[in-house]
A and B are shown apart, each in its own frame.
Chain A
Amino acid sequence: MANAKEIRTQIKSIQNTRKITSAMEMVAASKMRKAQDRMRAARPYGEKMRQVIAHLAHAHPEYRHGYLEPRAAKRVGYIVVTSDRGLCGPLNVNVFKSVVKDMKSWADQGAEIRMVTIGTKGSAFFRRMGVNIVAQAEHLGDAPGAEDVIGPVNVMLKAYDDGEIDRLFLVFNDFVNTMTQRPHVEQLLPVVADELPEQSHHWDYIYEPDAKDVLDGLLQRYIESLVYQGLVENIACEQAARMIAMKSATDNAGELINELKLAYNKARQAAITQELSEIVAGAAAV
């Protein structure tokens, strides 16, 4: 009978776990929907920005900005976006893998590496790996503002201006759909502009107050918008991944409970049979 009791406590504890995981699943699902909305809301700005940058790259300005000029890569910078919290499946590990792979290929070419991390998971992992983390941002919450990325991005832009890095990459999870999130490495600097179809005549903007001032501000905002979008997308991915992970945890708990129930019933049956045979044997002896 002790065995049956033990199984029963085990079932209880798994049932409690299942309650928690299914609650987490539902929370993640509703947060994911909100995060997806935010992701969609942020898209037009990114698209417009990209358009303007494409126009800019194909104009023939009197002043070429440093961010548009390619240069030899001796030092490489990364901005790595990860989640603050765990329990979201292989999401962060996938990002780490792709960063480490990318980093290795640069390291083989003799490039030094610097990193800015957004999210606690990334900073913990890369610090343990001994990567030079120059700045970090953590606990931005589920609904970060565009201003939250200004600090970390500015650190890297300044490093690029000062020649401390020659390439800048952004790594985050790309939200393909609820089931699929793919780690994505994107080059931020030098700027890779979209191709424009028609470019026949020479033209340039009228700049106010002057080209340098306008371009500085514009390109800074461009990089920030890309990082912000990566961040928002990563949050949607995090919630989706957590939802999937918690769903499978809930399913697994259900299976386990079924198995244990079977074992419990068997044990109970065995105990009853034994008791009966004992009574019968006792009665026969009298």
Chain B
Amino acid sequence: MAMTMHVDIVSAENEIFSGQATMLVAPAQMGEVGIMPRHSPFISRLKPGEVRVDTPDGEGLFFYVSSGVIEVQPNIVTVLADTAMRAKDLDEAAAREAIAQAERAMHDKQANIDYAKAQAQLAEAMAQLRALENLRKRTR
């Protein structure tokens, strides 16, 4: 029986694979890497591509990753896969959108206040109505 190592492939939203393997092939930043048990500590970004896991019963499992990070410890390999396409400018666009939303809300402040005011007035009117009804009931 060949030596094995523990492999975990996880993404932020769920666990994809967890189990023993004799070898793992992953698309690292500088080219494809093959990891076998007792590899020295290694950490790299992943490029979009396939991760192949060879299980002890000689089966080859394939997983697609769009990007992510691979961490190798002598007996543990962890693949942290991204769920979304990542790129620096995409991240920046997302950040800008979040800021813009806050700014929009600042400008919309008036509308929010108006809404709150209207709600308060409505509550007041309803209370008055209820009081009137009670009064009418008592005088009857």
Contacts and interface: CB of A to CB of B under 8 A. Distances in A.
Contact of B42 (A45, A116, A150, A206): A206
Interface string A46-71: 00110110011001000000000000
B49 to A, nearest CB: 14
Interface string A1-39: 011001000000000000000000000000000000010
B130 to A, nearest CB: 12
Interface string A208-228: 110001100110010011001
A42 B82 contact: no
- Secondary structure of the B contact surface, majority rule: mixed
Contact of A55 (B10, B73, B102): B73
B121 interface: no
B12 A146 contact: yes
- Secondary structure of the A contact surface, majority rule: helix
Interface residues of A, number: 50
Nearest to A6: B137
Interface in B1-40: 8, 10-15, 18, 28-30, 33, 40
- Of A48, A51, A123, A137, most buried by chain B (CB within 10 Å of CB) is A48
Contacts of B13: 38, 41-42, 45, 145-146
The 8 A-B residue pairs with the shortest CB-CB distance, nearest first, are A151-B94, A147-B84, A146-B12, A208-B44, A151-B98, A135-B98, A154-B95, A41-B14
14 contacts: A3-B137, A48-B80, A55-B41, A59-B41, A136-B98, A146-B13, A146-B84, A151-B98, A154-B98, A155-B98, A158-B95, A205-B42, A208-B28, A221-B80
Interface of A: 2-3, 6, 38, 41-42, 44-45, 48-49, 51-52, 55-56, 59, 116-117, 123-124, 127, 133-138, 145-147, 150-152, 154-155, 158, 203-209, 213-214, 217-218, 221, 224-225, 228
Interface of B: 8, 10-15, 18, 28-30, 33, 40-45, 68-69, 71, 73, 78, 80, 82-84, 86, 91-99, 101-102, 105-106, 109, 112, 137, 140
